[in-house]
């Protein structure tokens, strides 16, 4: 699974697909994960508060391709915070659709009176619980996690989801998490910092 897929599963209820965070915070975290995927693919970088495209070749993943096209098409807008806000509006649906195409979630329409709502429910509870379980196990191991896993852990912490990963972990795991984020490559460390700030700002304004 890609970074945003695992973040989505950690941020949503195992059985009903409901978000564990306020939708605004979940959207910001997912937007950051989508940008992080492009950083990991070597197609964008983050520095001095801006997102810059460094490789316009389309990535293999369709959603990553869409996000890259948006960055290229709106190149006058480079602020990380602007992109977290913009992508955050649709990131939950976009990532849920990707997980549905992968057979992890099922798209479910619910008709009530004059409106229809769409939800995404797990197909296999073990599969959707796995990302949080996997990260918890990684923090208990002596070897360092991969950069994508360290990024995911950083975004989990930035969005306020640490308890979902560390609920049964010991002091060692908590310490490992505290030193992983400062050790991220600079573009990813900055992305995590902007994510934490954006989530914090959303909390302060009541997350409308």
Q: Where are the domains of the chain?
A: 3-204
Contact by Cβ (8 Å): 148, 176: no
Whether the per-residue pLDDT at 45 is higher than 80: the answer is yes
Higher pLDDT, 14 or 149: 149
The dihedral of CA 71, 118, 1, 189: what is its sign? positive
Residue 195: partners with Cβ closer than 8 Å, 6 or more residues away: 28, 29, 32, 84, 155, 158, 159
Whether the per-residue pLDDT at 201 is higher than 90: the answer is no
Mean pLDDT of 46-60: 95
Would you give the end-to-end CA distance of the chain in angstroms?
31
CATH architecture observed for domain 3-204: Orthogonal Bundle (1.10)
- Which tokens hold the place of 98? 């990707």
pTM for the complete prediction?
Answer: 0.92
- Which tokens hold the place of 83? 């992109």
| Res 118: pLDDT | 84
Exposed / middle / buried, residue 163 (Cβ in 10 Å: 0-12, 13-18, 19+): exposed
């Amino acid at each position: 699974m890609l970074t945003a897929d695992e973040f989505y599963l950690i941020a949503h209820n195992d059985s009903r697909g409901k978000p564990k965070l306020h939708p605004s915070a979940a959207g910001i975290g997912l937007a950051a994960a989508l940008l992080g995927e492009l950083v990991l693919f070597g197609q964008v970088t983050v520095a001095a508060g801006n997102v810059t495209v460094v490789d316009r070749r389309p990535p293999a993943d369709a959603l990553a391709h869409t996000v890259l096209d948006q960055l290229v098409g709106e190149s006058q807008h480079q602020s990380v915070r602007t992109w977290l806000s913009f992508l955050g509006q649709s990131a939950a649906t976009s990532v849920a659709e990707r997980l549905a195409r992968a057979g992890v979630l099922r798209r479910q329409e619910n008709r009530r009176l004059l409106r229809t709502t769409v939800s995404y429910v797990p197909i296999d509870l073990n599969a959707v619980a796995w990302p949080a379980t996997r990260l918890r196990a990684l923090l208990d191991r002596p070897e360092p996690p991969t950069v994508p896993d360290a990024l995911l852990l950083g975004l989990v912490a930035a969005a306020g989801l640490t308890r979902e990963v560390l609920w049964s972990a010991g002091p060692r795991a908590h310490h490992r998490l505290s030193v992983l984020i400062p050790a991220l490559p600079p573009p990813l460390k900055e992305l995590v910092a902007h994510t934490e700030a954006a989530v914090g700002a959303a909390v302060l304004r009541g997350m409308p």
